[in-house]
Amino acid sequence: MKMDGRLQLLQEEIGLQHANLVAIAENIKLSISEDIKHSYVYALAMRLLNLAELHFATEEELMKIIQYKGLNEHCLAHKTIVLALREKITVLTPDMETYYDLVSSVNDWLIEHMQQEDKVLTEHLDSCGYKR
Ligand SMILES: [Fe+2]
Ligand SMILES: [Fe+2]
């Protein structure tokens, strides 16, 4: 199958975004296990939210181009993740409990989503012969 230029670019972006999301999530985990600065944790959480939103838009554009049959379900999962992240950030205070809540939300939603729904999408792309 011939590779569309835009599609290839989107796939590259998605790969980079995934790596960055994991790196920021890891940073949040590290920052709360050390000497905590609330403004730093908050800034990291906001970066994660912004990147997640950008990333979801990228992934959704790709799914539309390939007319992915799981598009609606996948978009719904993205919406749920953004809502959960926003909620955890809204209640973020200099209190360990709220930090742990944020970390477990990131693990439960974002990381798990990448390991499951996103993996299914990648496998679909591979099976259709879209080169990465
Ligand atoms: Fe993703
Ligand atoms: Fe996704």
Find the 118 Cα to ligand 2 centroid distance in Å. Answer: 5
Give the helix, strand, coil percentages of the chain, each rounded to 5. Answer: 80, 0, 20
**Residue 59: how many CA atoms within 13 Å on its side-chain side?**
29
Nearest bound ligand to CA 77?
2
Query: Residue 132: inside a domain, yes or no?
Result: no
For 21-51, what is each residue's pLDDT tens digit?
A: 999 999 999 998 877 889 999 999 999 999 9
Query: Residue 31: inside a domain, yes or no?
Result: yes
Q: Which CATH number fits the domain that encloses residue 52?
A: 1.20.120.50
pLDDT at 61: 97
Query: Residue 10: inside a domain, yes or no?
Result: yes
Query: Residue 68: inside a domain, yes or no?
Result: yes
pTM of the model: 0.92
How many domains would you assign to the chain?
1
Q: Domain span at residue 52?
A: 5-127
| Closest alpha carbon to 29 in 12, 47, 45 | 45
106 pLDDT higher than 80 = yes
Find the 26 Cα to ligand 2 centroid distance in Å. Answer: 19
